[in-house]
């Protein structure tokens, strides 16, 4: 007889199913709920990318690409990195590779860098894949408490770095908070990691979705890549261009690291989807500033309605807010999101992303009418306790 407890690995037993999925399951019981839980843009993929994908499929660009990515896309990415970060275009000491989503890049980097008993520092709160990188590699995950402003600063990081620390992950604009680190904060984190001989991984999946108060001259979020090249920059196309299902990201960093990640990709993901690689080359000619402005307006609506009732750290990027459940309610984030179901609203409890369950995450990637209705319902849930 098959005994799952005997066959399943210890790493599998250490990883729980995403709490986000549990919220979806609870919401499925509602009739036409206002779903503020989905971390996915609500706008369609730009026509230029759709047309390029269709053209690639019709022209039979459906086979494997090189493991590290199609040469034309890799050339385009080198151009982008040179333009955005000032990294030399043809410096052999740095390289790029295309990955199966940004999650693919994160997993590959962890596989390459971390051994059992090594240490990985991540922000708290965090994107749900970060803690899972520990069981996947056997490394110890160390959480950096960023409450209440959600900034993972050098001051907060330094006491956590030990001789076992191999990797620090920073995420700006952040999920689940939408908080954006300043250029000065990025500079200090980069310098700290360099001085301590630790690899810094900057997860910049939402870099294009940065609002006017924090955008740099490139129209993107501040990056530690402006202050050195001895780090791994991870970016993607899914959130910025609404093509999350295409599973396309990329990494840029030291050649020695990219080479090892490509080797591991060869034996795992093989390559990113070929037709999507052809398609996103067209992204260079697409102006997303109008969409980003719309999302900044949605962000303002969130703050206008919720800030008078609860503390909300200002989300200067991405499309999330992470409000604190008012202490007067005497409720955890989980309990409050359960109350929101009674108001036909789906949100994610903060404990899904954190060691604490004091907040909740909402995504404002939806149309304005439904967003306002959902926010008014959240306000009502607070005011009628």
Q: Are 164 and 118 in contact (CB under 8 A)?
A: yes
pLDDT tens digits, residue range 172-217? 999 999 999 999 999 999 999 999 999 999 999 999 999 998 987 7
Mean pLDDT score of the chain, rounded to an integer?
93
Q: Are 80 and 280 in contact (CB under 8 A)?
A: no
Quick one: pLDDT band at residue 21, thresholds 50, 70, 90? low
Q: Are 41 and 242 in contact (CB under 8 A)?
A: yes
pLDDT at 18: 62
- CA nearest neighbour of 73 among 47, 35, 46, 99: 99
Domains of the chain as residue ranges with CATH:
4-45+288-383 (3.90.1150.10), 63-285 (3.40.640.10)
pLDDT tens digits, residue range 67-106? 999 999 999 999 999 999 999 988 999 999 999 999 999 9
Q: Is the pLDDT of residue 30 over 80?
A: no
Q: Are 361 and 353 in contact (CB under 8 A)?
A: yes
Rounded percentage of the chain residues whose pLDDT exceeds 70: 96
Q: Is the pLDDT of residue 20 over 80?
A: no
pLDDT at 284: 87
Give the whole-angstrom CA distance, residue 323 versus residue 130.
21
Cβ-based neighbour number of residue 58 at 10 Å = 10
Quick one: pLDDT band at residue 7, thresholds 50, 70, 90? confident
Q: 2 or 335: whose pLDDT is higher?
A: 335
pLDDT at 38: 85
DSSP annotation of 159 reads G
Give the whole-angstrom CA distance, residue 226 versus residue 193.
14
Quick one: pLDDT band at residue 385, thresholds 50, 70, 90? low
Cβ-based neighbour number of residue 197 at 10 Å = 11
Cβ-based neighbour number of residue 357 at 10 Å = 19
Give the whole-angstrom CA distance, residue 49 versus residue 66.
21
Q: Are 317 and 176 in contact (CB under 8 A)?
A: no
Helices (H), the chain: 4-7, 10-14, 19-27, 47-58, 71-85, 101-113, 129-137, 154-157, 183-195, 238-241, 255-266, 274-280, 289-306, 333-342, 368-383
Q: 265 or 215: whose pLDDT is higher?
A: 265
Rounded percentage of the chain residues whose pLDDT exceeds 90: 87
DSSP string, 73-119: HHHHHHHHHHHHH---TT-TTEEEEEESHHHHHHHHHHHHH--TT-E
pLDDT tens digits, residue range 33-52? 899 998 889 999 999 999 99
Please report, for residues 28, 288, 353, the alpha-carbon distance to residue 213 in angstroms, rounded to integers and kept in the order given: 37, 17, 26
Please name the helix (run of DSSP H) or strand (run of DSSP E) that holds residue 332, with its range, or none: none
């Amino acid at each position: 007889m098959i005994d799952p407890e005997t066959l399943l690995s210890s790493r599998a037993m250490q990883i729980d199913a995403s709490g986000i999925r549990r919220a979806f399951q609870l919401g499925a019981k509602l009739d036409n709920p206002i779903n503020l839980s989905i971390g996915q843009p609500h706008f369609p993929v730009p026509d230029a990318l759709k047309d390029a994908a269709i053209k690639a499929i019709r022209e039979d660009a459906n086979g494997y690409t090189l493991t590290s990515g199609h040469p034309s896309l890799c050339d385009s990415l080198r151009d982008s990195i040179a333009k955005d970060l000032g990294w030399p275009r043809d410096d052999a000491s740095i390289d790029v590779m295309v990955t199966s989503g940004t999650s693919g890049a994160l997993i590959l980097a962890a596989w390459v860098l971390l051994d059992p008993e090594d240490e990985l520092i991540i922000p708290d709160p965090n994107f749900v894949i970060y803690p899972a990188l520990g069981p996947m590699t056997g490394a110890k995950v160390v959480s950096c408490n960023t409450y209440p402003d959600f900034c993972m600063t050098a001051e907060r990081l330094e006491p956590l770095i030990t001789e076992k620390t191999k990797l620090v992950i920073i995420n700006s604009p952040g999920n689940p908070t939408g908080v954006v680190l300043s250029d000065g904060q990025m500079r200090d984190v980069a310098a700290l990691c360099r001085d301590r001989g630790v690899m810094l991984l900057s997860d910049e999946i939402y870099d294009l979705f940065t609002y006017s108060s924090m955008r740099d001259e490139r129209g993107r979020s501040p990056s530690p890549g402006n202050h050195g090249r001895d780090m791994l920059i991870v970016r993607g196309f899914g959130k910025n261009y609404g093509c999350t299902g295409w599973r396309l990201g990329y990494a840029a960093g030291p050649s020695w690291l990219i080479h090892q990640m490509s080797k591991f990709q060869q034996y795992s993901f093989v390559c990113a989807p070929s037709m999507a690689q052809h398609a996103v080359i067209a992204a260079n000619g697409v102006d997303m500033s109008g969409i980003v402005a719309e999302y900044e307006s949605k962000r303002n609506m969130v703050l206008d309605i919720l800030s008078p009732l609860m503390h909300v750290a200002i989300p200067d990027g991405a499309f999330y807010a992470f409000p604190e459940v008012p202490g007067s309610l005497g409720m955890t984030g989980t309990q409050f999101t359960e109350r929101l179901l009674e108001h036909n609203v789906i949100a994610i409890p903060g404990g899904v992303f954190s060691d604490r369950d004091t907040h909740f995450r909402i995504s404002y990637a939806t149309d304005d009418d439904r967003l306002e209705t959902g926010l008014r319902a959240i306000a009502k849930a607070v005011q009628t306790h």
